Amino acid sequence: MKITGAVLEEIGRPRPFSESRPITISELELGEPGPTEILVRLEAAGICHSDLSVVDGNRVRPVPILLGHEAAGRVVEVGSEVNDLRPGQRVVMSFLPRCEECDNCAEDGRLPCSAGSKTNSEGVLLHGSTHLNRDGESVFHHLGVSGFATHAVVDRASAVPVGDDVPPDIAAVLGCAVLTGGGAVLNAARPKPQDSIMIVGLGGVGMAALITAISQNVSRIVAVDTLEEKLEHARRLGAHETYTPQQVLEQGVKAKYVIECAGNPRAFETAFAATAVGGTTITAGLPSPDARAQIPPMTVTAEARTIIGSYLGSAVPSRDIPKYAQLWREGKLPVEELITTRIGLADINQAMDQLADGKAVRQVIMFNSDHEHSS
Ligand SMILES: [Zn+2]
Ligand SMILES: [Zn+2]
């Protein structure tokens, strides 16, 4: 079928992207779902740092690639071997499919699926090649999803059903920001109510970690960012203390659990410095593979410290996404607070500039609405 999607043509074009326009809105041919796959009509898709990292070359992926991995939509058609989803159901996309057969998948979400990681880096779906074609040329899939499009074919393992009562923009954000940030708190840090927790970097993932910590009634919650407006937002959401990274270092602010959500080696150093004796530093951000951080190894030993890497919130999406949806339903997880702007697909290059400037928490592309043809 014919679809419209946002295709990254080339990696590393200069800023501003609104002028260099690395992403074009193209008409593509989308193949039929295979036996283990489903066809989804997209309703909403969030713009995440992992999309920007492909645009600016921090995460190298094959191009041309149809971006977008934080998305939600309705099932249109299911493959012959898919018997637990039906057309019309709303699904949240998950950006790392789990094969449920490899050694890593046996580790309860702690380790990324080795099959899914491989196909994600190759830009293909879990059980096959690409289903995207433009004028006879293959176009790659982003993280098994390619959600910046009117429709997508994804593996069954890349979709988690969610109730109709969860609106599409909320559902989309559950799939990456909430799963990653929330999981860094619930699956990796696992704080008790009497503990202290610090979140370093208040983008979508960091804000999601923050509201998750608040939902768990952790008694001392500290939020850290370089931008005052984000600290103000964090205080409004319920952070008990807020600081810039410089203030954290100068004043020696510490917490038992410190989660780095900025994907920046300096943020990791700040998070490590702010971790109390016997405490745990959790890193959820994804810096460039060449980035290096400096930490004193002596401190890890002498202060009996722990460092945890948390990819995808150490999550099992089919187990965790319904959990976050339920917290949202109960009014305990205000996911709508993470959404700063709703935009159209055509606004994608400007949206990447906004994200690169750190100005947006979550910008969400809305499909089948007035937004679709704006600017
Ligand atoms: Zn993401
Ligand atoms: Zn696996």
Q: How many CB atoms lie within 10 A of CB 246?
A: 11
| Cα 29 to averaged position of ligand 2 atoms, centre (Å) | 29
Q: Would you place residue 30 in the very low, low, confident or very high pLDDT band (cuts 50, 70, 90)?
A: very high
- List the domain boundaries for the chain: 2-164+344-373, 177-313
Reported pTM: 0.95
Strand residue runs (E) in the chain: 2-8, 23-30, 37-47, 65-66, 70-78, 90-93, 132-134, 137-141, 151-155, 159-161, 196-200, 220-224, 241-243, 255-260, 275-283, 306-309, 339-343, 362-366
Closest CA to 203 of 229, 175, 241, 171: 229
* Angstrom distance (rounded) from CA 87 to CA 38: 9
User: What are the start-end ranges of the H helices in the chain?
Assistant: 17-20, 49-55, 114-122, 168-173, 179-183, 204-215, 228-237, 245-251, 265-273, 297-302, 317-329, 348-356
Residue from 327, 319, 324, 325 nearest 108 by CA: 319
pLDDT (average), residues 201-228: 97
3-state DSSP assignment of residue 187: helix
pLDDT tens, position by position, 257-289: 999 999 999 999 999 999 999 999 999 999 988
CATH of 2-164+344-373, one of 3.90.180.10, 3.60.21.10, 3.40.640.10, 3.40.50.300: 3.90.180.10
- What number does CATH give the domain 177-313? 3.40.50.720
Tell me what the pLDDT averaged over the chain comes to: 95
Please tell me the distance between residue 252's alpha carbon and the centre of ligand 1 in angstroms.
31
Give pLDDT, residue 369.
Answer: 52
Distance (angstroms) between ligand 2 centre and the Cα of 105 equals: 4
pLDDT band at 374 (very low <50, low <70, confident <90, very high): very low
Ligand 2 mean position, distance from CA 103 (Å): 7
Which ligand sits nearest to residue 173's alpha carbon?
1
- Is the model's pLDDT at 305 over the cut of 50? yes
How many A from CA of 91 to the centre of ligand 2?
Answer: 21
pLDDT of residue 359: 80
Q: What is the mean pLDDT of residues 314-320?
A: 97
In order of 7, 193, 205, 307, 369, the CA distances from 202 in angstroms are: 28, 22, 7, 20, 29
Q: For 32-89, what is each residue's pLDDT tens digit?
A: 999 999 999 999 999 999 999 999 998 889 999 999 999 999 999 999 999 999 999 9
Ligand nearest to the CA of 101: 2
Q: pLDDT of 134-193, one tens digit each?
A: 999 999 999 999 999 999 999 999 999 999 999 999 999 999 999 999 999 999 999 999
Region 320-332: what's the mean pLDDT? 98
If 0-12 CB within 10 Å is exposed, 13-18 middle and 19+ buried, where does residue 252 land?
exposed
Single-letter residue type at 123? G
Name the more confident of 361 and 280: 280
**pLDDT at 360 (0 to 100):** 83
Q: Which ligand is nearest to the CA of 115?
A: 2
Residue 94 DSSP code: -
Cis ω on the peptide bond leading into residue 97 (within 30° of 0)?
Answer: no
Percent of the chain with pLDDT over 70: 98
- Ligand number nearest CA of 93 is 1
Q: Identify the nearest ligand to the CA of 313 by its number.
A: 1
Of 202, 266, 280, 272, residue with least CA distance to 235: 202
**Ligand 1 centroid from CA 168, angstroms:** 16
Q: Which ligand is nearest to the CA of 117?
A: 2
**Cα 126 to ligand 2 centroid, rounded to whole Å:** 10
From the CA of 172, how far away is ligand 1's center (Å)? 10
Structure tokens at 120: 């994600």
How many whole angstroms from 96 Cα to the centroid of ligand 2? Answer: 9
Domains 2-164+344-373 and 177-313 share a fold: no
CA of 53 relative to ligand 1 center, distance in Å: 10
- H helices present in 161-295, as ranges: 168-173, 179-183, 204-215, 228-237, 245-251, 265-273
Residue recorded with tokens 């959820």: 284
CA of 45, nearest ligand number: 1
- Cα(302) to ligand 1 centroid in Å equals 35
Greater confidence (127 vs 178) lies with 178
Total Cβ atoms within 10 A of residue 284: 31
**Residue 374 Cα, ligand 1 centroid: separation in angstroms?**
24
Q: What is the CA(100)–ligand 1 centre distance, in A?
A: 22
Residue 42 · residue 150 · CB < 8 Å: yes
Alpha-carbon span 62 to 122, nearest angstrom:
7
- Amino acid letter, residue 160: V
What percentage of residues in the chain have a pLDDT greater than 90? 93
Ramachandran region of residue 337, left (φ > 0), alpha (ψ -120 to 50) or beta?
alpha
Q: Which ligand is nearest the CA of 104, by number?
A: 2
